[in-house]
Structure 1
Amino acid sequence: MHAARAESAEDTVPGLSAGPVALAWLTQFLVGTDLFVVAPLLPRIAASFGVSTAASGLLVTAFSIAYVVASPFAGWLSDRRDRATVLVVALVLFSAANAGTALAPGFGLLLVARVVAGVAAAGTGPTVYALVSTRARPGARAQVLAVVGSGLLTALWVGAPAGSLLGRYVGWRSAFVILAAGTFLLALPHAFVWRARPVPAAAAAPDAPRGAGRPGTGAAVSAVAVTALWAFSVYSLYTFLAVALHADGRATAVTWLLVVYGIGAVVGGQVGGRFADRSDAVRVTRSALALTAVLEAVVALVFPVTWALACALGLFALAAYAFFPAQQRHLVDLFPERATAMLSWNNSALFVGLSLAGAVGGQIVHALDYPALLYAGAAVAVPACLVARGRPRRSRERP
């Protein structure tokens, strides 16, 4: 009876059309491009303001810290206010921050602009994910999240290189002018698209299994800790890949290997989303983490052989990025009443893991070598697989 009722409810949920999904994808692409484009532009920015490249790295750090700190508050606010309004305000603020980045007369004001951009980005990504996940049909929630999330992944290997080329030929400031204009133009359609239809009840609050207990703070912390461990494992490999290839005399292979990685990541996200909707989301996250650990060790083993490295990188990215949409679906299903807050904490955990990968990974590579870092990343994915778990259950089911 319950299954039949759930199936009937899902059939009546209208879901999302291609327009809102495309709009959400484009938003993630532009925000992701802003996030990833700063690193390749740092030498030009440093030269413009007469600061060292190391000092210019504070721009990335300032953005990341602002994002991690502001994201939980932005999620809390979004769950208590109209999500569309929060998203529009965040996009306008993000546009203003990018305009400030482009027009900054000094390095101090540039640093302030990047802090504001980090705060604004904290209000865009999780809110977009929450809007699409709560309006998607329950049986397609993870697939929609994967499609929207692929905008961020596409920015990694398309948007950032394009911005870097733009900075080389017409100046780094022009890249941020374009990003400012793009995000400002997106704010208007977002203001109307998400008000066109109320959130379907069946999509916003999926039924919990009979006997399921309400997850508390411990379950929330455990859930997002898995993301931090996953991020450390994945980005320890990615962050130092180009550096290791340059040191090994294979600089010419960097670009196409990153393209292989990026394509694998996009495909992995789609596969993970599809399986999470057709199976148990936690089972998908645990399988992805287990494969991530194994394949990261394989990448370490075949690193000296370029063609084998390309194959291993593609498979690694496919397995690793299958985790993220499944994890997002798991969080929305587990905490439907505070979906944006949980997705915000999840994104903060991602940045924490990414930052630790950069800090700790650099020390490991310096003291040992790049393959040693990959073995460490693989080892971190193992406890993440063990910590990942589903909905807690009551010890006794009420009659």
Structure 2
Amino acid sequence: MPFPLYLLALVVFAMGTSEFMLAGLLPDIASDFDVSVGTAGTLTSAFAIGMIVGAPLMAALARNWPGRTSLLGFVLVFSAAHVVGAVTTSFVVLFATRVVAAVANAGFLAVALTTAARLVPPSSKGRALAVLLSGTTVATIAGVPGGSLLGTMFGWQATFWAVAVVCLPAALGILRGIPTRPGQSDEADGPALRSEVAQLRSPRLILVMLLGALVNAATFGSFTFLAPLVTDDAGMTRPWISVVLVLFGAGSFAGVTLAGRLSDQRPGAVIAVGGPLLLIGWPALAVLAEQQIAFLALVFVQGALSFAVGSTLITRVLYEASGAPTMAGAYATAALNAGAAVGPLIAAATLGTVGNRGPLWASGCLVLVALLAALSFRDVLATARNSGGAPVTP
């Protein structure tokens, strides 16, 4: 894989850390700003909303800019938002910085996905996506626990400063390592924006976006509420929360790496095998939550399956949106983050009725809906082919 892909993955690591780090920082933020933990939790919602809205909006605005210019601009805005967030004494300003950071994050990811696809041969989009998403998975392994530890030792502001600082060498790397217009012809010579948006009329594109969103909703629905499962149902002490999060992140890294080798030429095999196993895994985790060894093993397995199946579906979005070269990354990003925003809301609704294991059952239901939709529209998937000639089915 081209070295510039790893520079992009470094930024995705910083942005992934920022997206997930608030889970361990909310009590301190609430105390410093004299607001409730629930109010502080709206910072997570602000980031999710910014991601969903920002992906298509920023991709549309930046579609005729040089890729390097867009990526660099988004990284610098993202870093600046964290600097302002670290020094502000106003919760309203902090809230605003989370929205700005999320919009910059979404814009970067949308352009980065498109750029990554252009840095590799047409038949290697899945491997390129795997490199990018490895930044997110490493964030769950190292960035989030590290950020939580840094916040505990030096205050939550230190984590914001750390994210801002990590962006700077990545920005320099983008400036020096990313071609102005990687791989393909000038975006201005491509299809008009109206033509790219019209790609959303494609049933195949809408279907794979929906499937990707459902699987991602299942993933983040359970991931968000792992902590109470660890301490209450599994009966482990609080330090084990970080261990469980690292296990899930390690599994997700393994899953996205494996999918990167298969999702271009054998995506149907990944979905056909991984989908049913993912469906079985979430209820199994709920049933076996009190068995600590089984719980830890299943957390790793579910992380691997979730990201293997999810990243494969998101790769299909890039292939199905090949007629929208500057907006394909935005469509993939929107599918990812729609799931990330909706999944925790669905999971949270089960806590009051089913308890801590409710999110796991909800994740199982979401995967079931995805598989039923894939089965119902298998004829649509069976005829889907990408620009490199790789079919969706095995």
1:319: which partner in 2? 305
Task: Compute the displacement of 1:239 (Å).
Answer: 1.6
Of 385-394 and 96-105, more deviation after overlay is shown by 385-394
> How many angstroms apart in 2 are the aligned matches of 1:147 and 1:156?
15
Task: Compute the displacement of 1:338 (Å).
Answer: 2.0
Contact 1:215–1:334 under 8 Å retained in 2 = no
Gaps of 5+ in 1: 1-15, 206-213, 395-399
Of 267-276 and 217-226, more deviation after overlay is shown by 217-226
> How many angstroms apart in 2 are the aligned matches of 1:95 and 1:372?
36
Amino acid at match of 2:207: S
Matched, 1:42 2:29: no
> How many angstroms apart in 2 are the aligned matches of 1:103 and 1:60?
19
Gaps of 5+ in 2: 191-198, 375-379, 386-394
Secondary structure in structure 1 of the residue aligned to 2:35: coil
Paired positions, count: 366
Task: Compute the displacement of 1:31 (Å).
Answer: 0.8
2:390: which partner in 1? none
> How many angstroms apart in 1 are the aligned matches of 2:279 and 2:325?
29
2:131: which partner in 1? 147
Task: Compute the displacement of 1:385 (Å).
Answer: 2.3
Alignment counterpart, residue 89 of structure 1, candidates 61, 73, 97: 73
Amino acid at match of 2:254: V
> How many angstroms apart in 1 are the aligned matches of 2:102 and 2:177?
25
Task: Compute the displacement of 1:392 (Å).
Answer: 4.7
Of 118-127 and 241-250, more deviation after overlay is shown by 241-250
Aligned positions of 1:52-91 closer than 5 A? 52-91=36-75
Instruction: Report the structure number with the largest CA radius of gyration.
Output: 1
2:101: which partner in 1? 117
Alignment counterpart, residue 241 of structure 1, candidates 213, 221, 226: 226
For residues 174-203 of structure 1, give each alpha carbon's deviation from its aligned partner in whole angstroms, at most 9, with x where no partner exists: 2212222322342233134222674158xx
Alignment counterpart, residue 226 of structure 1, candidates 208, 211, 217: 211
1:368: which partner in 2? 354
Contact 1:282–1:330 under 8 Å retained in 2 = no
1:259: which partner in 2? 246
Aligned positions of 1:241-390 closer than 5 A? 241-248=226-233, 249-252=235-238, 253-279=240-266, 281-388=267-374, 390=381
CA RMSD of aligned residues (A): 2.4
> How many angstroms apart in 1 are the aligned matches of 2:182 and 2:200?
26
1:216: which partner in 2? 201
Aligned positions of 1:195-210 closer than 5 A? 195=179, 198-200=182-184
For residues 212-232 of structure 1, give each alpha carbon's deviation from its aligned partner in whole angstroms, at most 9, with x where no partner exists: xx8834333222111221122
Amino acid at match of 2:228: V
Secondary structure in structure 1 of the residue aligned to 2:263: helix
Contact 1:220–1:342 under 8 Å retained in 2 = no
Of 72-81 and 93-102, more deviation after overlay is shown by 72-81
> How many angstroms apart in 2 are the aligned matches of 1:114 and 1:130?
24
> How many angstroms apart in 2 are the aligned matches of 1:178 and 1:361?
30
> How many angstroms apart in 2 are the aligned matches of 1:291 and 1:148?
25
Secondary structure in structure 2 of the residue aligned to 1:195: coil
Contact 1:84–1:190 under 8 Å retained in 2 = yes
Identity score, percent:
26
Task: Compute the displacement of 1:54 (Å).
Answer: 1.3
Task: Compute the displacement of 1:274 (Å).
Answer: 0.7
Contact 1:236–1:358 under 8 Å retained in 2 = yes
Alignment counterpart, residue 51 of structure 1, candidates 19, 35, 40: 35
> How many angstroms apart in 2 are the aligned matches of 1:88 and 1:256?
34
> How many angstroms apart in 2 are the aligned matches of 1:371 and 1:99?
37
Contact 1:282–1:390 under 8 Å retained in 2 = no
Secondary structure in structure 2 of the residue aligned to 1:322: helix
> How many angstroms apart in 2 are the aligned matches of 1:366 and 1:35?
26
Contact 1:268–1:318 under 8 Å retained in 2 = yes
Secondary structure in structure 1 of the residue aligned to 2:287: helix
Structure 1 residues 246 and 222, CA, compared in 2 at 3 Å: closer, same or farther?
A: same
Task: Compute the displacement of 1:349 (Å).
Answer: 2.8
Task: Compute the displacement of 1:94 (Å).
Answer: 0.7
> How many angstroms apart in 2 are the aligned matches of 1:78 and 1:331?
20
Task: Compute the displacement of 1:247 (Å).
Answer: 2.2
> How many angstroms apart in 2 are the aligned matches of 1:359 and 1:124?
25
Secondary structure in structure 1 of the residue aligned to 2:381: coil
